[in-house]
Amino acid sequence: SGHSSNDPGAVANGTTEHKEVEQIMLAVYAFLLQKGIHVIKLAEQLSLKEQISAINKAGTKNDLVINLHMNSATPSASGIMVFYYNGSLDSKSRAQLLLDTLLIETKLPSLGVVPDTSSRFGRLGIIRDTTPWAFLIELGFITNGSDLATARRLGSKAVEKAILSYLKNVEHIR
């Protein structure tokens, strides 16, 4: 996840973004290991720069990095978005593949695939500075009780299926 116990991310509905996405990612991690898929779980206390360094040391251009978050806005805001590397049609196609599966599994609204340059930071280091393909997923809004309930109920299965679909279909993207 993109947050840690030192940086809880968004806080809403009696919980934190870190707590919610950590639960999802732990389930996804266990599922992928059970499927025999090689997974690296980074220590949460690493800074973004340290995370990127560890990813680049262990990963190749054929690997996949998922950075999971939950969005924050008004209580009525709802939906899933996936950030991709702006300027890369291949990255955009891969992000769409992830998004399509997440939407099918959660039934949440689509906020689309979004270039990393449109983030509030103007670029996302986890996407821009890693050697493997990297995507930042906003799995609904923590500020929306219904999105939060959906993420809790279906988030891990949705992310698992999105990763499996990505790994199965990525060679057909071009």
**What tokens does 107 get?**
């039934």
pLDDT at 20 over 80: yes
| Number of other CB atoms surrounding residue 106 within 10 Å | 22
C-alpha R_g of the chain: 15
Cβ–Cβ under 8 Å, residues 21 and 68:
yes
Q: How confident is the model at residue 174 (pLDDT cuts 50, 70, 90)?
A: very low
Among 6-10, 34-38, 147-151, 166-170, which range has the highest average pLDDT? 147-151
Q: What is the pLDDT of residues 58-99, one digit of tens each?
A: 988 989 999 999 999 999 999 999 999 999 999 999 999 999
Q: What is the pLDDT of the chain when averaged over all its residues?
A: 91
Residue appearing with tokens 């939407």: 103
Q: What is the pLDDT of residues 145-166, one digit of tens each?
A: 999 999 999 999 999 999 999 9
Give the whole-angstrom CA distance, residue 148 versus residue 150: 5
